[in-house]
Amino acid sequence: MRKLAGKILILFIPLCLLPLNILNASENTPPWILFQRGMHFYDQRNFGEAFRYFRQVTARAEHPEAEYWIGRIFENEGQNTLALRQFERALDIAYRATSDEFHIAVLLSVARIYERQERHDLYEITLLRIINDVKRAVRADMEYERVLGDRLISLGLDRVIFYFRYELDSLITPYGDLGVFYFKSARDRDAIRQLASASVIILSRLIEANRGYNPHYEYTNVRSLILSSERNDRMREYMIESGLYRYLFFLALSLDNIGEIRQANYILGFLAESVVRNNYNDISLRIRNNNFSARDKDGVKRALLFNRGN
């Protein structure tokens, strides 16, 4: 399911699967074993021991993953400046990483810190860098988001998913988070382009997963795709972890803001029907049913964004 969710993971071997003699590290212990020990302690939130092992690794050789996880330790301890410095070190030697997408994980961590620090320009630049790097690497259409957003407005979400497929899983979080940022910044059309792109990738994976379970599955509309997929535990978990509900909710609000009320209410409607209980069910139901005046609706949006930290 982790592959399906498009998560960018830096994998490590659980210590329980390693031979017993590996657990007794010495000065001759290979760096990769030291790194696994560091990951073991990091996973236990024993950051002091994790830091010690990661530093032993970086003292012996250039190791981008160890540099990255040292940065994550600093981040967990609130040392954002030190964390950013570590992430830059990791990026400088990212070509040595075992994963081709390692630098994306690092840049997402950088973006997270910039968001926390309210350094909005750098946050946007970093997310755009990820998107453009990935698209250049696979020679994807650099105008994809603009075309998709315009088609969504003109055709509606159901038909867009029928005609478009997008499988760059590593772009789900950059697209989605950038879309939410644009919504907060009152850049609704830009938000629609990014949020639609994230949603299309996730929904494409759901269609693929449904066909894996049932070779005769045929896509009809987004509402039935989501509500039927929720009945499968693995697909429901993927929908939650990928951020689909969050991204669709802000897509609906962005559509509402530009006057696409019918499309907005359609999305809010099936979010309100969802069996996955989250912040977006009740608020979607009330907005869809027009239980707020226009002024109150704007207030609800702001409260959801800024008071709940979404």
Predicted confidence at residue 237, as pLDDT, reads 96
Q: What is the pLDDT of residue 13?
A: 40
Mean pLDDT of the 159-186 span: 91
Give the CA dihedral 199, 227, 211, 172, nearest 10 degrees.
20
pLDDT digits (tens, 9 = 90+) for 102-139: 999 999 999 999 999 999 999 999 999 999 999 998 88
Closest CA relative to residue 72, chosen from 56, 50, 57:
50
Angle at Cα 117 formed by Cα 115 and Cα 122, nearest 5°? 55
Angle between helices 188-213 and 144-155 (to 10 degrees): 80
Instruction: Give which of 120, 109, 103 is closest to 83, Cα–Cα.
Output: 109
Single out the residue of 275, 305, 271, 306 nearest to residue 288, CA to CA: 271
Q: At what angle do helices 80-92 and 102-116 cross, to 10 degrees?
A: 160
136-152, pLDDT tens digit by residue? 988 888 888 999 999 99
Q: What is the DSSP string of 87-141?
A: HHHHHHTGGGSSSTTHHHHHHHHHHHHHHHTT-HHHHHHHHHHHHHHHHHHHT--
Is residue 238 over pLDDT 90? yes
Over residues 164-190, the mean pLDDT reads 92
Q: Give 43-96 pLDDT, tens digit per residue.
A: 999 999 999 999 999 999 999 999 999 999 999 999 999 999 999 999 999 999
- What does the alpha-carbon distance between residue 256 and residue 56 come to, in Å, rounded to a whole number? 54
For residue 95, with 0-12 CB atoms within 10 Å meaning exposed, 13-18 middle and 19 or more buried, which class applies? exposed
Angle at 112 between CA 191 and CA 144, to 5 degrees: 35
pLDDT at 141: 84
